[in-house]
Every structure is written in C-alpha cells, then in structure tokens.
Structure 1
Amino acid sequence: VGEITAKKFLEFAGISPRLAPKRLSNEQIVAMVGALQNFQEFLQPDASVLSPVGEEILQAGITKELQPEFSAVVARPPSSYSGFPFLVEVGMAYGGKVLQPGLKLFRFANRIPLLYDESSDVSFKVMNEEIDWRRYHVPQEAPLGVITHIASTKIPYKTVGKEYIADRPEIEKELRNATREALRRLSIYLSRKGSMEAVQRKMNIYGRYLPLIARFSADLAGLKKLPDYKKLMGKTKEVEGEVEGEMTEAEAVGGAEPEPQTAKEKKEIEQKKIEEYSGE
C-alpha cells in the first residue's frame, strides 16, 4: 500500500496519520478493522495465482454434460477475504434433456467437486435464502442447474473433511452478484421465449380460422376470389400452406357456387352456409 492510499484509508477510518500505533485505543483498532472490510480503494488482489475454470471451458462443459436449452456463465473479478485472494464463477443451465424439474446445485472448489453436505455450503445458502427467484420470473419447478466454482489460495472450509465452504460475507457477496447476473440473462431469455410462444399461439389461431372467415366472407359477398388475408399473418409458411390447401380444395370441388339471381335464393344460400360453419 502506498503513502497516498494509506492516508486515504486513515481518513476513511477516522484516525489521524500522526497518531502512533502504540497510542491506538481499543475502539480505534476495532474501527480500523471494520474500515479494512469496507474501504474500496485498495487494489484488487492478483488473480494470476488462482486457477479458475474459465468462461469458455465452463460453458463447453455445461453444454456437453447438461445439454441445456439456455446457459450462461459469469466470472466475477478477483476479490479477497482476510487477505486471501479468491475468484467466483457461476454457470447456469435451463431446460434441456438432462435437468429435472427443480434446482440442482453443482459445487466446485479449486476445480474439485464437492459432493456432500450441500445444505451446509455457502452456495446453498445464497441460492435458497438470498436470491428472490420470483423477481426474475423463473418458475418454481423450472429445470434449472447452477454451477458454482470458488478458486482461492485458501478455501474457507468449515471442517477438515473439506466438503462444504463457510459462509464468509465476501464470498457470499460475490456468489450473490454472479448468480443475479446469470439470472438477469435467463430472465431476458424467458421473456423473449414467452413472447415468441404467445405470438405462435396467435398465429396458430389465425391460421386456423382466417381461411374459413375469408371463404365465408367471399361467399357472402358473392366473390369468386378469396381476399388476400395473408398480409395479416406476415405471410408465414404455415399460413401459406393452409391457404394453398384451402385453394386446392376449392378447385377440386369445382370452384365457387354460381351467383344467386334472386334475393330469396341468396338468403337460402347464406342460411345454408351459416348452418354448415356452425356444424364445423
């Protein structure tokens, strides 16, 4: 730490730079320790000593093993706790053939999988207690997989068995931020997917009923040619196929009926059409 940064920190902690360390009171020492946790102008720790998986490799692994419908990977910048540098990576997979309904958590520490005592791990705490899934419009039983990886020179395991990681505030914060970033991407995807499904449902309805409406309207108006209703549907392939099918059927039965000569005949034909379409 340089002289300028040291002076800024002491000013942030409310301690005079001229005060000798021997004269620090207990309250000032406690205030300095608290300031160390909140001072934002210290340089980030060197991440070259860490061994992250990497976004590309993690993305490739998720795609290969989980075959998801959607996936996102977030790597947080390096941080530190108690002077030890660490880095958090979070991957998220949604849907696909492998994942079952519900949240599935995959935990890694320094590239080593953690298989036991999941409920005691900091990742489990963040996912189940600190993330509001409803805010991101994720269904409760959505097939969702979350992969967390923590790389550090000293992983804060709770026990000598090294099966779960302690809930250090700094690690919690990075896990929470990385998960939220991945969820924002997933939320955008789900929103677009929902919009596309809504449009598709409307197109299916239009494709089903517009040909009938067009034919019925043409018959009522005494027209031999159907109106061009394809513009209403964006001229999609599905609609074009239905239109071609309708036109082929009309040609097969010999075209449109002859135009009625009297009002009585016209009324009888209209009533007949109404009964036919009501029966369908």
Structure 2
Amino acid sequence: HPVGVDVETMSRLLATSKERTMLSFMVNSFQRVGEKSAKEVLKLAGIPENKNPKKLKHDEVTALVNAIKKYGKFRAPDPSSISPIGEDLLEVGIRNMLNPEFLHVVQRPPSSYSGFPFMVEVGLAYGGDIPPSETIKLYRFANKIPLLYDERADVVWKVVNERIDWSTYKVPRTAPLAIITHICSPKIPYKTVGKEAVADRPEIERELLAAIREAARALKLYLSKIEKRTMAVKRLNVYARYLPLIAKFAANLADRKKPPKIDKLLEPLGIDKDLVEKARKEMLKELEIE
C-alpha cells in the first residue's frame, strides 16, 4: 500500500522495478492503486506519466512520497494478510480475565506503514477485579502473542503515559484502569531482535492514539454518569435527613400536635420511607431530641 512508504523504500522500489513508465509502476507496484488515482498522484507530484521509474531524481522521489501522503483518496489496505482478534472475542477475553465494571473495545480500520498493512485493536477496562493503582496496567499483544518485557520501550507505553492527559477524561490519579492493545501486521516493527517492544512508527502511534482516545471518551461518559448518580444519592440523603425534622419543627411553631405528612413530597424524589425513618432516628439521636 502506498500510504506510509518513505523516501528510502520508494527509492528501492523504483530501482528494482521492471516497469517502463511511472503510471504502470504506480498501478502494478502498490495495492489499491488504480489508473485514475495513479494519474492524480503523479500530476500532484509533477512527474510525467511516461517517465522511466529508474530515471527519477531524489527530489522527484521526495515529491512523489509527499504527493502520496497528501492525496488522501486511496482505499484502505487489503486486510486479508492480517489477522485481528475481533471486537467480540477481545471483549469476551477481557471480561473473563478482569471482570471489569466498564469495558469499551475499539477496532480501527486497516492502515499501513512503509507499505505494510496493519490494524490496531484496543480494549479499555475499568473497575471490577482491576486493583487501583497510580500506573495504568498495560496488556500488549502483537499478532496475538503477548509482549511481556520492555514495556517502557513500547509505543503503547508512550501513547498511554505521554500522549494522553487522563484527567481530561475524569480518571483519578489512582484508578482501577487497564488497557489492552493488539497490533497485527505481516511485519511488526519491533525495536529489538527479542521482539518484546513495538517501535514508535508515526502511523502506528497515530492509530493507537485514536483508538485509546475513543475508548477514553466512552469511559469519561460512564464516569460522568456515576458522578451524577452519586450526587443525586447525596441530595436524596439530605432530603430524607432534614425534611422530617423541618416538618416537626414547623408543627411545633404552629402549635399542632402532629407534623404534616411529607410522603407526597418525598415520593416524586424517589426517597424510600424506610430511608426517611432511618435518617430521622439518626438525626434525633445526634440532636438528643426526645
């Protein structure tokens, strides 16, 4: 796929190509490139369609690579050579492993780096069996194989810890948060021969960032609902605690033997009568009112 091909790779492809024109080179050397899109890219780069690929100068190669990046109309890479886990299986696996109270799974569309297709899948889990920690728990996979070492050298660690401000998504400093990532590609750009850390290629970093941010937005919405629910419960507790006393004091001021019934006031608020009675007794005990 042309998107993600750098100048060095393009120069190598041009030098080894058997095509006689740039038009045929573009069509036959790259995936998902037709004659129409090839002509448009060559025009954008200012390169004649019938020019011999081997005769391109360095500045023309650079112009071609830049034109490909600017074009933006190529179809997504063919995903037939990559093997994603899939959103459903990823969700089932995370639930079985972490039993989270919140889970959001994202599968990004196929993309490419240096001409190689790849796909990013991300799961963001919160609560449940995840212990609260100041550091986010990372589970990294590449082509369905877990990466257990060199975590801080991995592009995932960089995105999670350096590219994202988690306070923006209402995540507290100490939180039960885990992120699961899966990168699949016929050629994973590992940093070392040990194959334990994925290099921070811009294309892969961009896809990871987009996927994690999407999941983080869903988490923010969930945490906002929890926050609103907590505030609502606190307000109900205040009503349940003080309304019966206000009714009693009002009756005393009016020289009435019995306080007015407040059930009709409490029912629309969703306050249970048992909660009211419990709160009343606690308040009377605190104030030592007989």
* Distance of aligned partners of 1:16 and 1:136 in 2 relative to their CA distance in 1, 3 Å threshold: farther
Query: Within the alignment, does 1:50 sit opposite 2:82 as a pair?
Result: yes
TM-score by length of 2: 0.79
Aligned counterpart in structure 2 of residue 35 of structure 1, from 45, 49, 67: 67
**Residues 152-183 of structure 1, C-alpha deviations (whole Å, 9 max, x = no match):** 11111111111111111110010000000000
Query: Within the alignment, does 1:156 sit opposite 2:182 as a pair?
Result: no
Amino acid at match of 1:84: F
Q: How far has the Cα of 1:278 moved from its partner? A: 5.5
Q: How far has the Cα of 1:192 moved from its partner? A: 0.9
**Residues 4-49 of structure 1, C-alpha deviations (whole Å, 9 max, x = no match):** 1101212333434354435532211112123334432112111133
- Hey, what does 2:203 align to over in structure 1? 170
* Distance of aligned partners of 1:245 and 1:199 in 2 relative to their CA distance in 1, 3 Å threshold: closer
- Hey, what does 1:206 align to over in structure 2? 239
Amino acid at match of 1:234: P
Amino acid at match of 2:101: E
* Distance of aligned partners of 1:129 and 1:54 in 2 relative to their CA distance in 1, 3 Å threshold: same
Q: Kindly report which structure 2 residues correspond to 1:6-155, keeping only aligned pairs within 5 A, or say none.
A: 6-102=38-134, 103-155=136-188
Q: Is the 8 A contact 2:240 2:271 kept in 1?
A: no
- Hey, what does 2:3 align to over in structure 1? none
For residues 149 and 279 of structure 2, what CA distance do their matches in structure 1 show? 62
Amino acid at match of 1:67: N
For residues 132 and 246 of structure 1, what CA distance do their matches in structure 2 show? 41
Q: Is the 8 A contact 1:88 1:175 kept in 2?
A: yes
Larger Rg: 1
* Long gaps (5+) in structure 2: 1-32
Residue identity over aligned pairs, in percent, reads 52
Q: How far has the Cα of 1:229 moved from its partner? A: 5.3
- Hey, what does 1:228 align to over in structure 2? 262
**Residues 222-269 of structure 1, C-alpha deviations (whole Å, 9 max, x = no match):** 34352435435625253x22456799x9xxxxxxxxxxxxxxxxxxxx
Q: How far has the Cα of 1:68 moved from its partner? A: 1.2
Q: Is the 8 A contact 1:66 1:99 kept in 2?
A: no
Q: For 1:139, what is the secondary structure of its paired residue?
A: coil
For residues 167 and 29 of structure 1, what CA distance do their matches in structure 2 show? 24
* Distance of aligned partners of 1:21 and 1:242 in 2 relative to their CA distance in 1, 3 Å threshold: closer
Q: How far has the Cα of 1:184 moved from its partner? A: 0.4
For residues 228 and 279 of structure 2, what CA distance do their matches in structure 1 show? 29
For residues 17 and 212 of structure 1, what CA distance do their matches in structure 2 show? 88
For residues 286 and 173 of structure 2, what CA distance do their matches in structure 1 show? 43
TM-score by length of 1: 0.82
Q: For 1:44, what is the secondary structure of its paired residue?
A: coil
Q: How far has the Cα of 1:196 moved from its partner? A: 0.7
Aligned counterpart in structure 2 of residue 215 of structure 1, from 243, 248, 252: 248
Q: How far has the Cα of 1:79 moved from its partner? A: 0.8
Q: How far has the Cα of 1:279 moved from its partner? A: 4.8
* Long gaps (5+) in structure 1: 250-275
**Residues 58-117 of structure 1, C-alpha deviations (whole Å, 9 max, x = no match):** 111111111112111000001111121111000001112333323101100011100000
Q: Is the 8 A contact 2:241 2:276 kept in 1?
A: no
